[in-house]
Amino acid sequence: MNACGLIVEYNPFHNGHIYHIKEAKKASGADCMIAVMSGNFLQRGEPAVIDKFHRTRTALNSGIDIVLELPYIYAVQNSDLFADGAVKTLNEAGVSTICFGSESGSISHFITSFHTLKAKRAIFDETLKKYLDRGISFPEASKHAYTNIGLTDQHIDLTKPNNILGYSYVKSILENNLSISPLTIKRTNNDFHDQTITSTIASATSIRKELLKHNALTAQILPAIPEETESQLMVYKDKSSIWHHWENYFPLLQYRVMTMSASEIKAIQGVDEGLENRIIKTAKKATSIYSWIESIKTKRYTWTRIQRMFVHILTNTKKADFESVHLPSVPYVRVLGMSQIGRTYLNRQKKQMHVPLLSKLTRNQDPVLAIEEKAAQAYYSVLPPEKRNSLFQQELQSPIRL
């Protein structure tokens, strides 16, 4: 059997994702589609609108055969570490190809960029530093640095979010000498960051924005998502009472920060360069997550970076917990769900894995999996007690089977 890997968040799953799965299947010729998916907290430092189990169900009902969980220590990270964890997980799962959507659409551009950048790293870094020192923003400074080593927008614009992620995937594959072929398909219509829904292919950002603003599946959203997403969004809300939003966590996060010492905050992942004092000071006046981030952010500390740091404070995840993120291999592969094809595939593949294949939380578990447990508890902690306890039970059950 021949497997193709996708790296996803599905927050929420929409028509663009269906297109991605279909095109990836076509381009790879694979008979098993494997998605490695962030859990309850996402790369940009946000809680997922619905939990990983309900997002897994949608994926399995929409053409994915196996959903693997990207561990928290890789998922809530910058694009390089996010990509590295995802690629290594898919490598353990034995995929032949990894297919990602990009603004570019040409895989050779990514590969050329990798080699050019590797050869001219020193010049790139020097240029980047020069522009950053002048107070230019990171994306703008990068643009200058890329141009300076001959990588212009004509080839590939490495300041566009999906190109950045795609580049990180390719880089991880090449740097780790993995026998995986990277593939890319050109994204249609909407940009990653688009804030409004303009067609049946809309960005997850625009769908979330509309969903959380109205706290309802409006007529704007419905054309952009498959029925399966609609159904899982409703099922989850029925079980939990909410769709998760950063603002739900504001009282917990503020309480937490206000009862921590500066040195305890400093021990949290992502709190660097004396930011602990700024966090404590601003906490006292904050009245929402939004206003709080606004009062912390600077050119250096972007919105996303602060959100990721807030997730780590919320889940009490420390710098020490992230040490294994730089190890050559992921610590385990966790299956969240699988189709019949996925089951057959995994039964064969598991013999060739170098790390344990896991399905649920257990006693005396891997420390990286223990972080997953804390993250799940933190994620559900905004729900009424009975609902929280019952949703958490999913963590202790066997993978979802289609």
Q: Residues forming the annotated binding site?
A: 7-20, 101, 162, 187
DSSP class of residue 268?
Answer: B
- 364-383 positions binding its own copies, by CB under 8 A: 374, 377-378, 381-382
> Is the Cβ–Cβ distance between 76 and 371 less than 8 Å?
no
Interaxial angle between packed helices 367-380 and 303-315, expressed in degrees from 0 to 180 and rounded to the nearest 10:
100
x/- track of binding to its own copies for residues 259-278 (CB under 8 A)? xx---x--------------
> Is the Cβ–Cβ distance between 50 and 233 less than 8 Å?
yes
Selected from 117, 180, 221, 314, the binder of its own copies by CB under 8 A is 314
Contact stretch for its own copies (CB under 8 A) within 82-90, 132-140, 293-301, 312-320 = 312-320
x/- track of binding to its own copies for residues 222-251 (CB under 8 A)? ----------------------------xx
> Is the Cβ–Cβ distance between 151 and 158 less than 8 Å?
yes
Rg (CA), the chain: 21
Selected from 122, 177, 284, 326, the binder of its own copies by CB under 8 A is 284
- 151-190 positions binding its own copies, by CB under 8 A: none
x/- track of binding to its own copies for residues 73-112 (CB under 8 A)? ----------------------------------------
DSSP class of residue 398?
Answer: P
Alpha carbon distances (Å) from 365 to 321, 336, 362, 381: 14, 17, 6, 22
Contact stretch for its own copies (CB under 8 A) within 81-89, 137-145, 215-223, 255-263 = 255-263
- C-alpha to C-alpha distance for 42 and 130, rounded to whole angstroms: 32
> Is the Cβ–Cβ distance between 162 and 82 less than 8 Å?
no
**Least distance (Å) from its own copies to the CB of residue 392?**
7
Instruction: Compare residues 260 and 293 and give the one whose CB is closer to its own copies.
Output: 260
Instruction: Compare residues 281 and 299 and give the one whose CB is closer to its own copies.
Output: 281
**Least distance (Å) from its own copies to the CB of residue 73?**
15
Alpha carbon distances (Å) from 67 to 52, 140, 215, 357: 10, 36, 27, 13
**Quick one: tokens of 356?**
């344990």
Alpha carbon distances (Å) from 235 to 49, 67, 93, 243: 12, 19, 30, 11
Q: Please state, as a whole number, how many other Cβ atoms lie within 10 Å of the Cβ of residue 364.
A: 5
Contact between 252 and its own copies by CB under 8 A: the answer reads yes
**Least distance (Å) from its own copies to the CB of residue 237?**
19
Selected from 181, 189, 254, 324, the binder of its own copies by CB under 8 A is 254
Residue labelled with tokens 């960051």: 193
Which residues contact its own copies by CB under 8 A? 250-252, 254-256, 258-260, 264, 284-288, 314-316, 374, 377-378, 381-382, 385-386, 389, 392
